[in-house]
């Protein structure tokens, strides 16, 4: 009979599994790049490229340590400074005196110094784990608000996809009833990353759901959201937005683009890029939003995407780009909406290989069903 109690993890077994993961050196490289990008300004990163390897190594170490020092709380800065001073002074003392008393002092100083550094590490890890737990809760709420991946609307084949680059997502993607007899799709991208972008994303999604059943047109919906974001005066936060309105068994699609990536229309004659439209939501008061109309014939496909697709990078820092996306759209022509979208996502994943996604991805495939 097996023991139902959870087993404590074994240290050496865990380390062995970590080493056997197959991506150790890649992960070390990625972690080093993330440390440099987080702690160093863009100006300093540019300056490093003009230096010799030795000078660059020493400067990176010094700049990172200095930046980390000032990001700590006052108590943790003092603990870090005390730990380093104790370790350095112990080394200097032993080099000057080689008697037994100095050896004992050395051991005590090193012990206290390492203890101070470990205490700083424990406190920082505690904060990280608390924040990670809160972000996981936020992500769970975002998942609960996500629409079905394949909403059912007569006369249409639809596939919706979103992928967060981090714990929470700053891309907007939703499917909703619009003005009684119509349906709507919204996709967008909030400026910035992290928790702030995710919170604004949820706010915009809630506003869309609240106003969509009662506004007469997409222009009214965009104007209301823009008004509220400006009223709330959220600093340095805005969002691109792409709104669609359509109805069952009809090929008429009305759309409004507020600074988002231009949709792609795939027909039997090729591919056409729709316009980018107005400025983003939350940038300027009294923005005049324009609604456009598109008549889709059976078999035609409309693709909405975020810049997380076109700006996805491989290990040589090359971007996936619009040309590759358009080529994949052409090659996927004739596939049903889900297969079409999955082919695009697979192409992006194959292009970046083992690299991580640096930005959130959202994708909408809206296909007019054949008669």
Q: DSSP for 318-366, please give it.
A: -B-HHHHHHHHHHHHTTS-HHHHHHHHHHHHHHHHTTSPPSS-EEEEEE
Number of domains in the chain: 2
Q: Where does the pLDDT of residue 108 fall: very low under 50, low under 70, confident under 90, or very high at 90 and above? A: confident
Q: Does the pLDDT of residue 346 top 60, yes or no? A: yes
Q: Is the same domain home to 127 and 170?
A: no
pLDDT, tens digit, for every residue of 49-106?
778 878 888 888 888 888 888 888 899 989 988 888 888 887 766 555 555 555 667 7
- Indicate the average pLDDT of the chain: 84
- Average pLDDT (334-353) is 93
Least confident residue range of 14-23, 41-50, 360-369? 14-23
314 DSSP assignment = -
Q: Is the same domain home to 201 and 251?
A: yes
pLDDT, tens digit, for every residue of 239-295?
889 999 999 999 999 999 998 999 999 998 889 888 777 788 888 887 888 899 999
Q: Which residue in this structure is represented by tokens 């056409």? A: 272
Q: Is the same domain home to 217 and 160?
A: yes
For residue 275, CA distances in Å to 122, 166, 271 come to: 52, 30, 13
Q: Give the pLDDT score at 101.
A: 52
Dist CA 186 CA 176 (whole Å): 8
CATH of the domain at 273: 3.60.40.10
Q: Where does the pLDDT of residue 366 fall: very low under 50, low under 70, confident under 90, or very high at 90 and above? A: very high
Q: Of 141, 171, 194, which one is at a domain's C-terminal end?
A: 141
Query: Which is more confidently placed, 299 or 170?
Result: 299
Q: Is the same domain home to 123 and 180?
A: no
Dist CA 107 CA 102 (whole Å): 9
Q: How far apart are the first and last CA of the chain?
A: 61
Q: Is the same domain home to 80 and 206?
A: no
Is residue 297 classed as helix, strand or coil in its secondary structure?
coil
Q: Give the pLDDT score at 113.
A: 87
Q: Does the pLDDT of residue 165 top 70, yes or no? A: yes
Dist CA 258 CA 124 (whole Å): 40
Query: Which is more confidently placed, 158 or 113?
Result: 158
pTM of the model: 0.75
State the angle between helix axes of 24-39 and 53-71 in degrees (0 to 180), rounded to the nearest 10. Answer: 70
Q: Is the same domain home to 130 and 161?
A: no
CB 148 within 8 A of CB 161: no
Q: Give the pLDDT score at 322.
A: 92
Q: Where does the pLDDT of residue 154 fall: very low under 50, low under 70, confident under 90, or very high at 90 and above? A: very high
Contacts of 198 (CB under 8 A, 6+ apart): 138, 142, 168, 169, 170, 190
- pLDDT > 70 in the chain, percent: 89
- pLDDT > 90 in the chain, percent: 31
Q: Is the same domain home to 135 and 155?
A: no
Dist CA 155 CA 214 (whole Å): 24
Q: Where does the pLDDT of residue 44 fall: very low under 50, low under 70, confident under 90, or very high at 90 and above? A: confident
Q: Which tokens sit at 332?
A: 């996927």
Whether residue 5 lies inside any domain: the answer is no
Q: Is the same domain home to 111 and 253?
A: no
- Domain encompassing residue 121: 11-141
Q: Is the same domain home to 127 and 177?
A: no
Q: Is the same domain home to 200 and 61?
A: no
Whether residue 308 lies inside any domain: the answer is yes
Query: Which is more confidently placed, 210 or 191?
Result: 210
Is residue 265 classed as helix, strand or coil in its secondary structure?
strand
Whether residue 205 lies inside any domain: the answer is yes
Q: Give the pLDDT score at 2.
A: 46
Q: Of 141, 175, 205, which one is at a domain's C-terminal end?
A: 141
């Amino acid at each position: 009979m097996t023991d139902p109690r959870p087993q404590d993890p074994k240290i050496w077994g865990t380390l062995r599994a970590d080493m056997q993961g197959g991506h150790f050196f890649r992960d070390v490289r990625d972690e080093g790049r993330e440390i440099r990008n987080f702690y160093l300004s863009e100006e300093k990163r540019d300056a490093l490229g003009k230096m010799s390897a030795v000078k660059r190594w020493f400067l990176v170490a010094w700049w990172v340590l200095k930046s980390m020092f000032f990001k700590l709380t006052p108590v943790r800065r003092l603990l870090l400074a005390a730990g380093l001073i104790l370790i350095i002074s112990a080394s200097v003392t032993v080099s000057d005196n080689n008697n037994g008393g100095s050896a004992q002092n050395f051991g005590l100083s090193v012990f206290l110094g390492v203890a101070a550094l470990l205490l700083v590490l424990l406190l920082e890890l505690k904060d990280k784990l608390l924040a990670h737990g809160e972000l996981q809760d936020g992500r769970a709420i975002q998942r609960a608000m996500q629409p079905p991946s394949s909403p059912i609307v007569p006369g249409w084949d639809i596939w919706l996809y979103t992928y967060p680059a981090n714990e929470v997502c700053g891309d907007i993607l939703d499917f909703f009833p619009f003005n009684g007899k119509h349906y709507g799709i919204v996709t967008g991208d909030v400026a910035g990353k992290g928790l702030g972008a995710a919170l604004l994303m949820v706010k915009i999604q809630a506003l869309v759901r609240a106003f969509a059943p009662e506004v007469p047109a997409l222009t009214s919906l965009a104007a209301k959201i823009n008004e509220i974001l400006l009223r709330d005066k959220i600093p340095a936060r805005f969002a691109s937005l792409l709104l669609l309105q359509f109805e069952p068994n009809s090929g008429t699609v009305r759309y409004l683009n507020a600074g988002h990536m231009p949709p792609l229309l795939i027909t039997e004659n090729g591919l056409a890029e729709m316009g980018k439209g107005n400025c983003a939501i939350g940038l300027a008061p009294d923005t005049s939003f324009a609604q456009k109309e598109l008549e889709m014939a059976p078999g035609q496909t409309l693709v909405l995407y975020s810049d997380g697709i076109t700006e996805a990078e491989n290990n040589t820092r090359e971007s996936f780009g619009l040309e590759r996306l358009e080529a994949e759209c052409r090659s996927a022509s004739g596939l049903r909406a889900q297969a079409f979208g999955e082919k695009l996502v697979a192409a992006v994943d194959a292009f970046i290989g083992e690299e991580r996604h640096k930005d959130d991805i959202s994708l909408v495939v809206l296909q007019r069903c054949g008669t």
